[in-house]
Structure 1
């Protein structure tokens, strides 16, 4: 028995070619091939707009396999019999790398030194260092684990946080106690109803003066208005790869907020992204083809 998988690009066709019992067929949004009538697995593109019509065009669909680790755009949108699986494990390293780059840029004042270069100013100054910084990593999945591994190499002191406490990991209910004692708070959580505005006004107020909030999760995990107030007061700093709203519209106060490093949702957008994503996807689909549940299966809000 052969399972037909619809993929959005040639990377997917090549990645799935060696899996027994799987036939990968490329599709174009809005112009599904004839094979869609028999397809059981759909791999949506990175930016899929019309989910409803796409899913409706695959009548025998049993699994939607995402290219992203985040599933919030798909949770609750599929028929009950259709499974949803993420690409967790593909983008954690790249995202963790972005966090480290952002922190080094801020602590070692790289932007300021670049400004001096433009004005041909030789101005030596002492900077902060990542060494010894107390970093609170909220989220202990692939992204959080990848970040801890990199921060350990820089001799930072890392505290991990998850929904529930376990050995070596603190519980999210301990955040009020933990926040005042950390120099950096890195958000590495999925977007769910529970994590929406996790970093609200009370959360931010508990961070010590001069601390850095890093959001490499999703924009709505942070209460934007509360963050703007803290940044405008100069009390804390932030590094954001995601915002709410997103894209950030012209004139939004985040564009001019002091103490902010901002990038346009590019933490995972780097060379090799397709190879890393399809390596995980191939494993998930191979499991499905063997009659197993994919290991990245989304359950509930995930």
Structure 2
């Protein structure tokens, strides 16, 4: 049995309490306490009133962490690392952190796994017309000639287009490999050889939209991607195509999508929207060709354990003097979530 390290850096939970309770139950905190000096009961939902902030060397953050601005960092002169037990760090890691050289790690790769799984399920169900056939079966309660109703039914040799080779996008590409799909990819930061190495053919976004049976969005929310799919681009989707969004709601012009989906010409699977939550009167709730889910593609329930394990591994690496396995840099945030 290994002994407790002689020097344990001071650590602090900084997140919403309910997220701490879900991510770091007592058994996990026991493992954590082997490597860091941490108050297992205290959770900083704000940085006002933190006891002895000057001694904190590691912040363990997640959803609900307040911004780490200059004023906060001024009270934490020993802070050297932020280990984020969630995905994007843009909500709390500020320029002041990068200017001071604070090391930042994220569990985005762990959180990408369930999002990619959701996406794969959406693709397979869309081409199999599961939602439509399920509705007809419920209505008629009898076996109909499904092939006559949907002559294009099935996944064989269908074209799937991915917008963005993000962590999630790359994971989706891996999951698509065993299936008989033709995969297209649109990403301005890749070259054709890189796309081929991931099992896809690099094309322009407009060409992808016009050629795909299913289009799945995995681009980050950046000024240049705001309403990336506007009315013009939505009109490029082929009749019967399905649009899947597990990325960011701002990637799609919601008003334009509502108009397009209301015609029944295209289908949509939306786990994120703009705004989130949609107004109660939005037609997207009731359109039979639209499936809305309340931002559940990411880690929930038992899937949180994967994020916890990733964060714990990073803390152990830091305490052992090793580099993070999943570091974040200021430069990378200009093109990522």
Scaled by the length of structure 2, what TM-score is found?
0.75
Match of 2:142 among 110, 122, 134: 122
Match of 2:168 among 139, 143, 155: 143
CA contact (8 A) 1:6 1:41 kept: yes
**CA 1:181–1:142 in 2, change beyond 3 Å: closer, same or farther?**
same
Tell me, in whole angstroms, the C-alpha distance in 2 between the residues paired with 1:247 and 1:193.
21
Match of 1:228 among 253, 258, 261: 258
**CA 1:92–1:295 in 2, change beyond 3 Å: closer, same or farther?**
closer
Match of 1:56 among 43, 62, 72: 72
Aligned residue in 2 for 1:297: 328
1:43 is paired with a residue whose SS is strand
**CA 1:129–1:19 in 2, change beyond 3 Å: closer, same or farther?**
farther
Match of 1:251 among 281, 286, 296: 281
Aligned residue in 2 for 1:17: 31
Tell me, in whole angstroms, the C-alpha distance in 2 between the residues paired with 1:291 and 1:104.
41
Unaligned ranges ≥5, structure 1: none
Deviation at residue 107 of structure 1 after TM alignment: 3.1
Deviation at residue 120 of structure 1 after TM alignment: 6.2
Aligned length: 300
Deviates more, 1:148-157 or 1:34-43: 34-43
Tell me, in whole angstroms, the C-alpha distance in 1 between the residues paired with 2:39 and 2:22.
9
Cα deviation per residue 1:154-204 (whole Å; 9 max; x = unaligned)?
A: 322222333322314189882123321111111112222232222222322
1:104 is paired with a residue whose SS is helix
Please list, as runs of the form range in 1=range in 2, the aligned pairs for 1:83-102 lying within 5 A after superposition.
83-102=103-122
CA contact (8 A) 1:16 1:23 kept: no
Aligned residue in 1 for 2:185: 160
Tell me, in whole angstroms, the C-alpha distance in 2 between the residues paired with 1:38 and 1:94.
36
Aligned residue in 2 for 1:176: 206
Unaligned ranges ≥5, structure 2: 1-6, 14-19
Cα deviation per residue 1:221-254 (whole Å; 9 max; x = unaligned)?
A: 2121121121122232211111111122311232
Deviates more, 1:73-82 or 1:178-187: 73-82
Q: Considering only aligned residues, what root-mean-square deviation do their CA atoms show, in Å?
A: 3.2
